[in-house]
Structure 1
Amino acid sequence: MTVETELPTPPVVDRETWQRRRDDLLVREKAHTRAGDALAAERRRLPMTEVRNISLDGEHGPTSLLEMFGDHDQLLTIKHMWHAGEPFERQCEGCTANMWNFQDPAYIEARGIAFGVWCEGPREEYEPFRDFMGYTVPWFSVHGVDESGVSDGWINAYLRVGDRVFQTYDTDGRGCEAMIPSLLLADLTVYGRQEQWEDSPAGWPQPHRASGGTGWWRKDGRPVAQWTRPGVTQVDAHGGHCH
């Protein structure tokens, strides 16, 4: 016996009616875009605060904050959570989504913005993971480093002026969605992100939680992106590897 299920759908209308409703929504979308432009303009008018030129352990050893800029005047950093001593599949699924959706900073570097990852784990632990995931952007360890007065957010923006470094912006929480265009693309579809907090019509599929829900951040025991990696293995219910 099979059970057939059918997802609810929007009402069906003629093309003229659909276009009229779409045009009405477009007016609001344009207002939303302009509101975002206005917020960005306010960010550009924030004051800045000087930070210490801390040194972090990177691929080439101790690296100062100033050195992370390279030839650029601006620097963006993102933090990566780390669960010490845990296998790859137990590492943060949210941080994996952030990094997987933004692996190549070529276009922001063309605008004079350097990019780096600040990982909470020690370099000897995260480097094999970085290699496994195929990441090529610079990673630096903040393990055991006092970051107070340097990075209050999960994404941080810095400006170099001579031999001084200033913080110009930070964000966390949903502000990190700037790193995950997959979410923004899902917002364009009829069922959205399918997360339980979303305002959707009654009966719309919403099997996922904003964090840790099955099928969105994780699949079969791993962060989703890990299943694309060569040689990846199955994980059993207890976290061990199946053979």
Structure 2
Amino acid sequence: MQNQVVSREQWLEARRALLLKEKEATHLRDRINAERLAMPWVKVDKDYVFDTPQGKKGLSDLFDGRSQLMIYHFMLGPDWEAGCTGCSFLSDHVDGALPHLNHHDVTWVAVSRAPLAKIDAYKKRMGWKFPWVSSFGSDFNFDYHVSFSPEDLAKDKVFYNFTGIEPAEAHDELPGLSSFYKNERGEIFHTYSSYARGPEELIGTLMILDRAPKGRNEEGTMDFVKRHDEYEGAQKTQSRH
């Protein structure tokens, strides 16, 4: 830490200067949000079937009676032993938001290609409550560019985050967030998707750390993150509860 130590008056001057930039960022975010809402939509004509704890369900069923559906593309492949650490970090922030999202006509569902039994086991380990279904055997993950076959990874470029990336930067699974709308006729539209660091604002812990004295204190993106039951002392903390 090499921060300069100054008087209260100097600190206030620096803080007010930063506040102007923070307000600029807030206003820019408002403009981006407005543009996001004005984005054109794509009608979803393909039928997708998911394995759920209640049996087979189509994409329309995942809305659960609401008109808006948010799908988090959770990195957990068919042969993975555990879910992605970063996806787990984000998902730790979801359960508390569910009542508010549901009340506001939004359903949140995580989707992974792992078989449902593997999903359920990892979900139980993490103690999560949000809906999580399997797209195993479906084209869903491939169509929304978050899963990649060996043939995809053998190409010169892999299509991810709306561009071609080097295969060395890709994996068989990558994260993302997609939004869908269902109208009164039951028609479904894909309205938005975000990949890579796009959904980062959903991770409240990062937003708090950004305001802490040492910030994220990382050398690489989220290199400090572990699954919440893997931190030193986590098991002792859980046992006390």
TM norm structure 1: 0.77
Of stretches 34-43 and 106-115 in structure 1, the one that deviates more from structure 2 is: 106-115
Of stretches 20-29 and 176-185 in structure 1, the one that deviates more from structure 2 is: 176-185
Question: Does structure 1 residue 177 correspond to structure 2 residue 195?
Answer: no
One-letter amino acid of the structure 2 residue matched with residue 56 of structure 1: F
Question: Does structure 1 residue 32 correspond to structure 2 residue 59?
Answer: no
> 1:226 deviation in Å?
4.7
> 1:84 deviation in Å?
4.0
Matched ranges for 1:68-87 at <5 A: 68-87=62-81
Matched with 1:10 is 3
Q: Identify the structure with the greater helix proportion.
A: 2
Q: 1:43 to 1:99 in 2, by over 3 A?
A: same
Distance 2:78 2:59 in 1: 24
RMSD: 2.3
Distance 1:129 1:150 in 2: 25
Q: 1:30 to 1:73 in 2, by over 3 A?
A: same
Distance 1:86 1:54 in 2: 23
> 1:71 deviation in Å?
2.0
Of stretches 147-156 and 66-75 in structure 1, the one that deviates more from structure 2 is: 147-156
Matched with 1:98 is 90
Tell me the number of residue pairs that the alignment of Structure 1 and Structure 2 aligns: 205
> 1:120 deviation in Å?
2.1
Distance 2:121 2:33 in 1: 37
Distance 1:17 1:132 in 2: 49
> 1:42 deviation in Å?
0.1
TM norm structure 2: 0.78
> 1:231 deviation in Å?
10
Structure label with greater radius of gyration: 1
> 1:229 deviation in Å?
6.3
Question: Does structure 1 residue 217 correspond to structure 2 residue 225?
Answer: yes
Matched with 1:59 is 53
Matched ranges for 1:111-122 at <5 A: 111-122=104-115
Give 1:159's match in structure 2, choosing from 181, 196, 201.
Answer: 181
CA contact 1:97–1:225 (8 Å) conserved in 2: no
Alpha-carbon deviations, 1:102-135, whole Å to 9, x = none? 2231112221111100012110111111112111
CA contact 1:150–1:167 (8 Å) conserved in 2: no
One-letter amino acid of the structure 2 residue matched with residue 144 of structure 1: G
Alpha-carbon deviations, 1:160-193, whole Å to 9, x = none? 0121110000001111213211111111123211
Alpha-carbon deviations, 1:64-106, whole Å to 9, x = none? 1111111211000101111445544xx3111111111222311
Distance 2:25 2:50 in 1: 39
> 1:224 deviation in Å?
3.4
Question: Does structure 1 residue 23 correspond to structure 2 residue 16?
Answer: yes
Matched with 2:102 is 109
